Structure 1
Amino acid sequence: MLTSAIVSSTSASPTVQTLTLDITGMKCAGCVKAVERKLAQQPGVQSACVNLVTEVATVTCEPETDPEGLAQVLPQILTQSGFPSQVRQSNSPSLQAGLADLANLRQAQAQRQRRDLIVAIGLLLVSTIGHVSQTIGIAIPGLGNDGFHAGLAAAALLVPGRALVWDGLKSLWHGAPTMNTLIGLGALTAFLTSLVALINPTLGWECFFDEPVMLIGFILLGRTLEQQARHRAAASFQSLLALQPRIARLVKVQGFSPSQDQRDQPQTPTIAPGAIEVPVEHLRVGEWVQVLPGEQVPIDGEILLGESTIDESMLTGESVPVVKRIGDSVSAGTLNQSGAIVLQVTHTGENTTLARIIQLVETAQTRKAPIQQLADTVAGYFTYGVMALAGLTFLFWFFLGLHWWPEVLNYGGQMSHQMSHQMPHPLPLPEALAPASTLPSHPLSPLLLSLKLTIAVLVIACPCALGLATPTALLVGSSLGAENGLLIRGGDVLERVRTLDTIVFDKTGTVTQGQPTVTDIIVAPQLAQPYTTDQLLQMAASVEQGTTHPLATAIVQTAKNQGLDLLSASEFRTQAGAGVIAQVDLAGRRSCVLLGNADWLNQHQVTLPPDAHAQAATVAHQGKTIVHMAIEQQWVGLFGIQDPLRPDAQDSLQTLQREGLRVMLLTGDRRETAQAVAQALGLASDQVIAEVKPEEKSHAIAALQAQGYRVGMVGDGINDAPALAQADVGIALQSGTEVAAETASLVLMRDRLSDVVLALHLSRQILGTIRQNLVWAFGYNAVSIPIAAGVFLPQFRILLSPGSAGFLMALSSISVVLNSLLLRWHFNRISIESPIRQSKPSLPN
């Protein structure tokens, strides 16, 4: 993981810092709440968010707090509370060493749990053999003796169940009871009650030493299966982490060979013989790295020598390799397939594309959905509530229930006889829920029946399912999205996606390809000094070289393609979304040249003649963007620039409309141009917001929100960032600016508008799975706890044994995790059933 231990927050305050802690020992939602409470209580901690599945905590420090001091204190406090933890180190070598130690610790815990499970199952089998021998009338010396079964129960508590019981009691001592507390109390109560009955037979109590053995065995089995399912849920994210290369081949440049055309082609570097393998974290921006065929690209860089095909599927989900040539960018973690290349490092450490993706995915897994807040609130008090309910269960049955329904003592005796002398099958639930048999039995004592019901309440309650409901779905869903080029920033985003009814698309670079070309050059007629189209293009390119706007790039590139030399220019002034002005050397004298829209020229006292408006309208109706040009406050002509639509733009927008969403186009272009593009996209005229200045885009989004719409904004540029932030959900294309990507809630790594549809589907599917998990978790506890408390005992003779309650509890947790794993199947299904045809709509002529 590339998240550093102490990083600056992206919030407005530059002094806010965050810490990342790796924590072990958490078993349920109660553990999560206990850890969050411990962290939040510490001075200097502003907030804390803990993920049960990834076992990671993100701590936000208060302004002016020393994070280094907290980094030393917090792990000690958590470790003392029974949750061994450590802060991730900020430098890469220490980070890798710390993660390796943590991985070893978790592996040792897993091995110990498997060993304990084997012992517990062995004890359970021996106990079962003893009961079966009595049932079938085969006398096996010692196995039918209550003292022998007492020894089995003690062994189960002291060997495989020791850590479980001890952790539960320690958590109770620290005032933060967890699921282990409930299990430990239930197992100890069953054992001690049976022990009293064994020591003092005159009480007439039944010995049920098999219950602690069954309870420990089923709990450990359930946890082992749950752990495997959780590891499977984290497999996608772990595979993403595994993409991080460790070693790079550093080379040196001897010199550069001369180039025939130094203006258009860079000089070819000459690489010194020999290469040095260095850790990736030691690379610096500007250094040179060689990547051979079949190797992973170790770092973000720009190719300066060679050509190859690069497999980017691990980052974007795109299966078709991409041809990369000199000047193209490559990302760390991608696979070099065919040729040797040399690249110059452009980003290192956590600034690489892969590192940012991993950070986004991990952040998504720690940002909780509002729907989870209820679960967290309940989980914080869950174990207290269960212990209170268990106490009330005992008091009710001992003092009231058995006086109202004394016949249930016979039911309990029959059930006890049935379960003590028949084999507890691998799935003992049917026996536990079956009506009382007619086997001869002795009635239970009021104290014993009350205790059995109390133990069942303690054991059957499952805070673990509540804790796993959201993080497992987010882990699977966000990792699955990352595999397919969809980055979702957190569970709170999913809640907002569900409510969207309007999607607004920026035009340039979003629904269009962002690669505009000059198609028309119109020279003003009847000029005192006539110009040719080449002269206009040469002057315009000389002015536009001072800006990086896509339209400026199109003009400069067209001039280069026609072999026109750029003129000397200075004093550039640019207004985003309006135009540019510069002083250009024309025929030996300096002249003021302006390029931009009509409003920009009007602001500089340039009056457009009627011919200019007529010609601009004609070109604009063809879906082309108009750039006017003036020299010394005189209009001299205009350029028509066309940016082709993305191949999947029309189908993607139409699909969104078919799904009931209102789709709109937002642009600063003339209304005629915007209407032509909208027509090609299949949008109506009232779905276009045109002639909007960059700084007003966010106001346009706010105006829609003021009308009651829930708005998603799709954009790619710096000028889209305020609108992305204003929208309920901002969606950015990865090829856009870094500012846009950082502002957005969803990032599309493949730059395909069809992924907007896919991202919305995935978000809804994740949220649906979270809801299913929470409904199951709450529903299970709401139904099972009353059953365990004996609600159906008087009428339906249903009495759950502690062992059966433990089995149901384990099954509940496993069900939640397995349901989250089904997300992959659902995602593949919606991907197949909702394809976006890759058609190529064209603009009208």
Structure 2
Amino acid sequence: MPSIKKVVLPVAGMHCASCSLLIEKTLKASEGVKTVNVNFANAKVTLEYDASQTAIPRLNSKIKPLGYELKTSDLNLAARNKQSLAIQKNKILWISPIIIYSLSVMAWDLSGGRQFILFNLSILNVINFGLASFILLYIGRDFIRSLFNFFKTGRANMDTLVGMGILTAYVYSTVLLFFPQLISIYNLPANLYFDATIIVSGFVFWGKYLEARAKLKTSESIEKLLNLQAKTALVWRENQEIEVPVEQLIVNDVVIVKPGAKVPTDGVVIEGASDLDESLMTGESMLVSKNIGDAVIGSTINKQGYFKFRATKLGPETLLANIVRAVEEAQGSKAPIQRLADKISQFFVPTIMIIAGLTFLSWLIVGLFTNQLNQFLPLAVACFVAVLVIACPCALGLATPTGIIMGTGLASRYGILIKNAEALEKLHNVRVVLMDKTGTITKGKPAVIDFINFSDKGDDEILAIFQSLEKQSEHPLAQAVMNYGNIDQFQSLNVKNFAAIPGQGIEAEIDGQKYSLGNQKLMTDSGLDLTEHNEVANNLAQAGKTVIFLAAKDSLLALMTIADPVKTESLSSIKALQKLGIKVVMLSGDHLGTANYIANQVGISEVMAEVLPNGKGEKILEYKARHFGQLVAMVGDGVNDAPALAAADISIAMSTGSDIAIATADITLLHGDLEKLIKAIRISKLTIKKIKQNLFWAFFYNIVAIPVAAGLFYPFTGWLLSPALAAAAMSFSSISVVWNSLLMKRIRL
């Protein structure tokens, strides 16, 4: 029996984009693995596998010989990354004086200041040999290890290129240092490359440190989310308040929240009331009032009141856990735009090795044909090393994932959960948005819209009769009447002989007076003449409102209308979508009259009403067929929207809706706010813009840098790139891509 599991795990040992592709290729070839996405930018793998066929230790056995390892625990990952960064920083402090010294010697040598003679084993060269040996052992071990892994497995990465370059320079220089007679025999220039070994290793290591530090900042969004969680909870157990770690909470625990405290987990208020700050979770800046029966979200902040709630979700089931999981999976997924970079990266390292080898051979051949082999051998070595060092698959590998990480992180800051990179890439190209009405455009909760008093009694007295009668009712609309007006001042009247009349309303007595409360049929069946008020009632009904009449004996006292009110932001959000050139269509299961009324309020011209749940999915497919080539998005919140969400090119769910709608959707808008859809589109545009900038720079850098390093322009212009400068350029290219993506942190939507 298959047992499919999906996990997001950290990967140790990754140094470049080629590493991620190698891990991905190896794991994909393993039995039982369904899907693999390795993200170099955050050093994590999103893995879907059949637990009945394989396990993490078995998968680890596949990649450990290559120098990588899946970490089964993600606990304190950020702390471990910071500790690793601190170790790297400490190493940089140790090697910095050596690099500065080598740069000084190189500059002095280039300016003609060398006074020591090479074949007499000059003190300077011995010092350089010692320092280069120390650098190779101290920070160059990973490069050399990667080179040996290449010889053992045939699998190469960027570290292989660097290792091959610095070891070539080191071995060439060491041979000439200890066998100086070779210089005389072959009439070679007295040039050694110990300084290149030191500077290349140092610059690459320094670049990796800056890159790691920048990448750590890209994952701050998840770390901030994790830090939101409360550490302890105050619970009511055994008739007393007890403070316990949140891990010890159980479902149905009664949790006490005092002013200023964090809500420890998700639940429902059972006593008291307060205003909560949900901004860090949903992006909603206004305080949200909570009363008995309202849901509260773990990790939000109680601003003023005291209340108790019953815990309903714990640990991985909470909204915070779902947000973290969604952000991690989105950051680990791959956008279609990354496919080109992946294809190039796959062949990048072997291609660079070939180019470096051809460069070396080409200069040797030139030396042979010109009878100046002694002059061209050092040039061949220098260009060979420069090509190996300057080529940068990392810039290509980081271009897309860093943009995706920053885009999804920015989205989560505004209460937008993007579940996969493909949705983030495609969203800005959407041309048609179909929207459900209830819960998406409207609030999804019936409310009293109109209250018209025809009697001589005061409004408060009539309202008290309405609410006292509805308090006894189980009708879904009764709660809307109960919530109308100042509920805190409501005083229930003594109701007797209560009787519910199915499909019509209720009848009861208050202080000996018989009242009828219900629809028009109940009034006419009771013998009440509504002729005088028919026009008003009909106009209200045609506007999509449910009309409720209140009568006593043979006179109509008042009427109320109940409807699902439009959200305050719906009109402005829909207008903003239309300004972006996006067509908005309403797709509703409600009556045509009600749907048209709401559509007119928010400026929607095309309405598809009275559509059954399965029919919604079919309507989406029909619309896609009619508008072939245009991306179609669906926004919904209910179970009945799930088929349509699944059929759309991009599915967007309101977090106020059902779990199945949210599970089906590519994007979730927390707090059910349509304005977040506009922000999501802007984030999509910004993310793709950054990714394109990154890819352009990565391609441009490699296209220009490799020929220069190979010495292609040397015969015509005299341009020649030293290995040290090549290493600096390579480090800068990776860092520039990451920092360009990090600029998104400054964006305010």
Offset at residue 742 of structure 1 (A)? 1.2
Match of 2:75 in 1: 99
- Choose which of 498, 509, 515 in structure 1 pairs with 2:439: 509
Letter in 1 for 2:707: P
Q: Does residue 232 of structure 1 match 2:217?
A: yes
Offset at residue 692 of structure 1 (A)? 2.1
Match of 1:195 in 2: 174
Match of 1:426 in 2: none
Match of 2:195 in 1: 210
Superposition map of 1:797-816 within 5 A: 797-816=718-737
Letter in 2 for 1:480: L
Deviation digits for residues 487-544 of structure 1 (CA, Å, limit 9, x no counterpart): 111111023213310111211221112232355899xxxxxxxxxx999999999996
Aligned counterparts of 1:464 and 1:166: Cα–Cα separation in 2: 19
Aligned counterparts of 2:582 and 2:666: Cα–Cα separation in 1: 19
CA contact 1:133–1:139 (8 Å) conserved in 2: no
Normalising by structure 1, report the TM-score: 0.75
Offset at residue 292 of structure 1 (A)? 3.0
Normalising by structure 2, report the TM-score: 0.84
What SS does structure 1 have at the residue aligned with 2:668? strand
CA contact 1:24–1:106 (8 Å) conserved in 2: no
Offset at residue 321 of structure 1 (A)? 2.8
Distance change in 2, residues 1:676/1:377 (3 Å): same
Aligned counterparts of 1:319 and 1:814: Cα–Cα separation in 2: 35
Q: Does residue 358 of structure 1 match 2:327?
A: no
Match of 1:695 in 2: 614
Matched positions, count: 697
Letter in 2 for 1:692: V
Aligned counterparts of 1:131 and 1:776: Cα–Cα separation in 2: 29
Distance change in 2, residues 1:552/1:180 (3 Å): farther
Aligned counterparts of 1:343 and 1:173: Cα–Cα separation in 2: 61
Q: Does residue 164 of structure 1 match 2:143?
A: yes
Aligned counterparts of 2:275 and 2:428: Cα–Cα separation in 1: 39
Provide structure 1 residue ranges, at least 5 long, that are not aligned to the other structure: 1-12, 89-97, 255-271, 410-442, 523-532, 571-579, 588-594, 599-610, 629-637, 832-845
Superposition map of 1:440-459 within 5 A: 445-459=375-389
What SS does structure 1 have at the residue aligned with 2:408? helix
Aligned counterparts of 1:536 and 1:324: Cα–Cα separation in 2: 25
Aligned counterparts of 1:334 and 1:672: Cα–Cα separation in 2: 40
Aligned counterparts of 2:564 and 2:473: Cα–Cα separation in 1: 21
Q: Does residue 758 of structure 1 match 2:679?
A: yes
Deviation digits for residues 633-661 of structure 1 (CA, Å, limit 9, x no counterpart): xxxxx995322221121111111111111
Deviates more, 1:659-668 or 1:13-22: 13-22
Offset at residue 371 of structure 1 (A)? 1.1
What SS does structure 2 have at the residue aligned with 1:794? helix
Deviation digits for residues 308-361 of structure 1 (CA, Å, limit 9, x no counterpart): 332212112233333333332221111223244322111111111111111111
Distance change in 2, residues 1:136/1:314 (3 Å): same
Distance change in 2, residues 1:672/1:656 (3 Å): same
Match of 1:837 in 2: none
Distance change in 2, residues 1:249/1:70 (3 Å): same
Match of 1:742 in 2: 663
CA contact 1:120–1:213 (8 Å) conserved in 2: no
Aligned counterparts of 1:496 and 1:627: Cα–Cα separation in 2: 46
Distance change in 2, residues 1:730/1:104 (3 Å): closer
CA contact 2:81–2:216 (8 Å) conserved in 1: no
Provide structure 2 residue ranges, at least 5 long, that are not aligned to the other structure: 453-462, 510-517, 522-531, 550-558
User: What is the alpha-carbon root mean square deviation over aligned residues?
Assistant: 3.8
CA contact 1:539–1:566 (8 Å) conserved in 2: no
CA contact 2:46–2:332 (8 Å) conserved in 1: yes
Match of 2:555 in 1: none
What SS does structure 2 have at the residue aligned with 1:75? helix
Match of 2:699 in 1: 778
- Choose which of 52, 59, 73 in structure 2 pairs with 1:66: 52
Distance change in 2, residues 1:194/1:700 (3 Å): same
Q: Does residue 41 of structure 1 match 2:26?
A: no
Aligned counterparts of 1:586 and 1:328: Cα–Cα separation in 2: 30
CA contact 1:250–1:289 (8 Å) conserved in 2: yes
Offset at residue 621 of structure 1 (A)? 3.9
Letter in 1 for 2:709: A
What SS does structure 2 have at the residue aligned with 1:99? coil
Match of 1:220 in 2: 205
Aligned counterparts of 2:546 and 2:305: Cα–Cα separation in 1: 40
What SS does structure 2 have at the residue aligned with 1:735? coil
Distance change in 2, residues 1:692/1:56 (3 Å): same
Aligned counterparts of 1:515 and 1:784: Cα–Cα separation in 2: 62
Match of 2:552 in 1: none
Letter in 1 for 2:691: I
Letter in 1 for 2:252: G
Aligned counterparts of 1:801 and 1:485: Cα–Cα separation in 2: 49
What SS does structure 2 have at the residue aligned with 1:501? strand
Aligned counterparts of 2:422 and 2:533: Cα–Cα separation in 1: 50
Deviation digits for residues 135-193 of structure 1 (CA, Å, limit 9, x no counterpart): 58697999863232222222221222223322343255233211110100000111112
Deviation digits for residues 776-800 of structure 1 (CA, Å, limit 9, x no counterpart): 2222222221222222222222111
Distance change in 2, residues 1:471/1:338 (3 Å): same
CA contact 1:168–1:181 (8 Å) conserved in 2: yes
Match of 1:489 in 2: 419
Distance change in 2, residues 1:50/1:801 (3 Å): same
Deviation digits for residues 766-815 of structure 1 (CA, Å, limit 9, x no counterpart): 12212222222222222221222222222222111111111111101101
CA contact 1:284–1:345 (8 Å) conserved in 2: yes
Aligned counterparts of 1:582 and 1:351: Cα–Cα separation in 2: 42
Aligned counterparts of 2:176 and 2:467: Cα–Cα separation in 1: 101
Aligned counterparts of 1:375 and 1:622: Cα–Cα separation in 2: 55
Match of 1:186 in 2: 165
- Choose which of 3, 7, 11 in structure 2 pairs with 1:23: 11
Aligned counterparts of 2:33 and 2:533: Cα–Cα separation in 1: 63
Offset at residue 239 of structure 1 (A)? 1.0
Letter in 1 for 2:328: E
Offset at residue 253 of structure 1 (A)? 5.9
Letter in 2 for 1:237: I
